A and B are shown apart, each in its own frame.
Chain A
Amino acid sequence: MYIAIINYNMGNIRSVENAFKSIGAKVKVTSGIDTINKSMAFVLPGVGAFKDAMQNLENQGLIGAIKENVKKKPFLGICLGFQLLFETSLENGKHKGLGLLRGTVKKIPSIVKVPHMGWNQIDILKKNSNIFDGIKDKEYFYFVHSYHAVPEEKKVVNSITDYGIEMVSGIEFKNIFGLQFHPEKSSKFGLRLLKNFWNMAKEKK
């Protein structure tokens, strides 16, 4: 009974691991396909460049494993891990993502300060979403990013955030959850989101 945190050499893994542990979740940091297959739920964290991230996933043979496992169990993408869920990114060229969701990752327009860094609020669009259990509308979370995901289908959008432009800060589609902000760095309400995910993982079993 554990959550697999996918380690693909894209930073930030330890913070996510520590945050899950602090709320009593059992986690395994892994790049092993077998460990992911046997998990109850899995997480794709990540900080860094989109292209490098996809390259690392491919080199480690993880793309297929992600696509298979997502059919069966809850999956959480955080920050870059969230952006990787989409079909395409325009970060330094045009790059193919995991394609689990339709849409494109684009640069935050320079009419606002880039990166979008700091505490910002989320407008929760799906109030009854399990991931937002116990979280009030307009709660603050910690963001650090220069690109943002633009889903093609509005129905996957779970929360949005105002930063001069309106950005998608959370998505939900079948087993897939994605968060643009960093729950592991967002104090008690960030930890609450991780706890909600852990609870979903346990119920699934």
Chain B
Amino acid sequence: MITKRIIPCLDVNKGRVVKGVSFVNLRDAGDPVELAAFYDREGADEVVFLDITASHEKRKTVIELASKAAKKVFIPYTIGGGIKKVDDIREVLRKGADKISINTSAVNNPSLIEESSKIFGRQCIVVAIDAKRKDSNSWEVYTHGGRTPTGKNAVQWAKTVEDLGAGEILLTSMDKDGTKDGYDIELTKAITREVNIPVIASGGAGNLEHLRDVIKYADADAVLVASIFHYGEYTVREAKKYLKSQGINVRI
């Protein structure tokens, strides 16, 4: 049967890896393609590159990244950041990326989800949702790297993107991101309960128990992990061994 996945996430700014702490403070951590190839060797199941470069040249930088990664990364990889049009998607996939991730452009133009999943297949279209708690049982969707509230309810939006043709949801808890005190179990559960497409949990991983918890208690299909791997606190291999010991089906 299909395994649960561990996915290192690389934030990329002007061709270099950074790790945002609650989307603000950035710290350089190397060449994204080398780092992704390292994670491939370490046993990561996929890699996500999020290009956060603020520039008009962004379209060019994501395409370049897709192309460079194709030469050295032999696990599936997703590219996100600044993808606005069907043509951008086509170009990134043609260079060798397996999936693209859209966030702000999905909110601004939901038909992009529908159109692109029809052309390329829903398996390549990942919709990223950045959500922040609004009250005891609802979360609001934010765009533009967590700067712009949209008024949309995250659970509703997740159902909408599934209906439109998204193949997967990359769900980031803005409340938990950067805190290292665990994924947002409640938020993740609220979404996995309502959709039938895979959900990748993101934001808050501080130790291996956190990975287990969001898989076991919130039914996440995959976990996105950044700083605890980038800063060498744990290896992918250690994470997999631990999850396996906890009865979770992983590729090892």
Contact = CB atoms under 8 A, between A and B. Distances in A.
Interface in A12-71: 14-15, 18-19, 21-22, 47-48
Interface of B is mostly: loop
Nearest to B40: A187
A10 to B, nearest CB: 11
Interface stretch (A111-119, A122-130, A148-156): A111-119
A48 B72 CA distance: 24
Contacts of B122: 115
A162 interface: yes
Interface residues of A, number: 29
A142 B76 contact: yes
A196 to B, nearest CB: 15
Contacts of B123: 115, 117, 144
Contacts of A22: 71-72, 74
A116 B2 CA distance: 8
Interface residues of B, number: 26
Contact of A185 (B2, B41, B76): B76
Given A15-B96, A18-B96, A113-B196, A118 B75 contact: no
A15, A140, A186 pick with most chain B CB within 10 angstroms = A15
B84 interface: no
Given A11-B93, A140-B251, A144-B123, A184 B1 contact: no
Interface of A: 11, 14-15, 18-19, 21-22, 47-48, 113, 115-120, 140, 142, 144, 162-164, 184-188, 190-191
Closest A-B pairs by Cβ, 3 of them: A118-B2, A140-B251, A119-B251
